[in-house]
Amino acid sequence: MLTLKNLSKSYVAGTPVLQDVSLEISARGITAIIGASGTGKSTLIRCINRLVEPSSGQILFEGADLARLSGRALRHARRHIGMVFQEYNLVERLTVMENLLSGRLGYVPAWRAWRRKFPPEDIHRAFELLDVVGLAGFANQRADALSGGQRQRVGIARAVMQEPTLLLADEPTSSLDPKTSVEIMELLANIAHSRKIPVLVNMHDVELARRFADRIVGMAEGRVVFDGPPAQLTDEMLTTIYGGQGWLH
């Protein structure tokens, strides 16, 4: 359960990227955030786990305001929030297994992590996750030897290794071809439903959003202008979100 209250962010004083955004994410399943480039979708997602510092507002998650936390408290909170990135952000020189295990770094003491002495349950879970994402046998491949789609699967597995109660995805399919994009969205939907956690996905492909999301949040100029199931997303509404007429047909 995640509640955003009056979240605002300005990178440059006077030009807010996020204006007074209030949302409640409690449902399981995929919530897709759509909107034109630069309307604050990515900023919104990154404010939640404080990769970007919000200018004002509250982020209520698991009984604490994430916007106020720092140091160890913030790290502990981050453990429960998994994140998937547009460019996968895997550690290229490490193997797939090491990338997966890095999802447990919030739970394992630094010294043991350095020596790669992770608990056997973590290793077992990692192997299982590799099966789930369809990468069985890839454990010892270096991450930079994988294709884009494979890397994103590793990225998703890494996030799930954290046993998160919330999964964030910042344009997870923007660097992938259409077929792979669908596979990745299917994987995310699978995880949302099997683990019963909310998945907040930021995407620019409206068709993909319509197909996989249980709820769509449309943003324009830093504000929420649409919030509802995909069925309610009319062409008119899309024009409001993205502006302009020509692109719809």
Q: Please report, as ranges, the residues that interact with other proteins according to CB under 8 A.
A: 49, 51, 74-83, 85, 87, 89-95, 97-98, 102-106, 108, 110, 113-114, 116, 120, 123-124, 126-127, 139-140, 155, 158, 162
Tell me how far apart the alpha carbons of residues 118 and 112 are, in angstroms, rounded to a whole number. 7
Write down the least CB distance from residue 236 to other proteins, Å. 37
Neighbours of 109 (CB within 10 A): 9
Query: Pick from 166, 188, 194: which is nearest to 25 by CA?
Result: 166
Q: Which residues contact 172 (CB under 8 A, 6 or more apart)?
A: 84, 85, 86, 152, 155, 156, 184, 185, 188, 201, 203
In terms of CB distance, is 156 or 216 closer to other proteins? 156
Write down the least CB distance from residue 192 to other proteins, Å. 19
Cβ proximity of 129 and 118 under 8 Å: no
Write down the least CB distance from residue 91 to other proteins, Å. 5
Write down the least CB distance from residue 53 to other proteins, Å. 13
Q: Which residues contact 207 (CB under 8 A, 6 or more apart)?
A: none
In terms of CB distance, is 76 or 195 closer to other proteins? 76
Cα 171 to its chain centre, rounded Å, is: 8
Q: Which residues contact 40 (CB under 8 A, 6 or more apart)?
A: 9, 17, 18, 21, 219, 222
Write down the least CB distance from residue 176 to other proteins, Å. 17
b (16+ CB within 10 A) / e for 114-123: eeeebeeebe
What's the half-sphere exposure (Cβ side, CA atoms, 13 Å) at 61?
26
In terms of CB distance, is 52 or 225 closer to other proteins? 52
Return the structure tokens found at 115. 């020596």
In terms of CB distance, is 60 or 113 closer to other proteins? 113
In terms of CB distance, is 68 or 75 closer to other proteins? 75
In terms of CB distance, is 118 or 242 closer to other proteins? 118
Write down the least CB distance from residue 150 to other proteins, Å. 16
In terms of CB distance, is 81 or 241 closer to other proteins? 81
Write down the least CB distance from residue 23 to other proteins, Å. 20
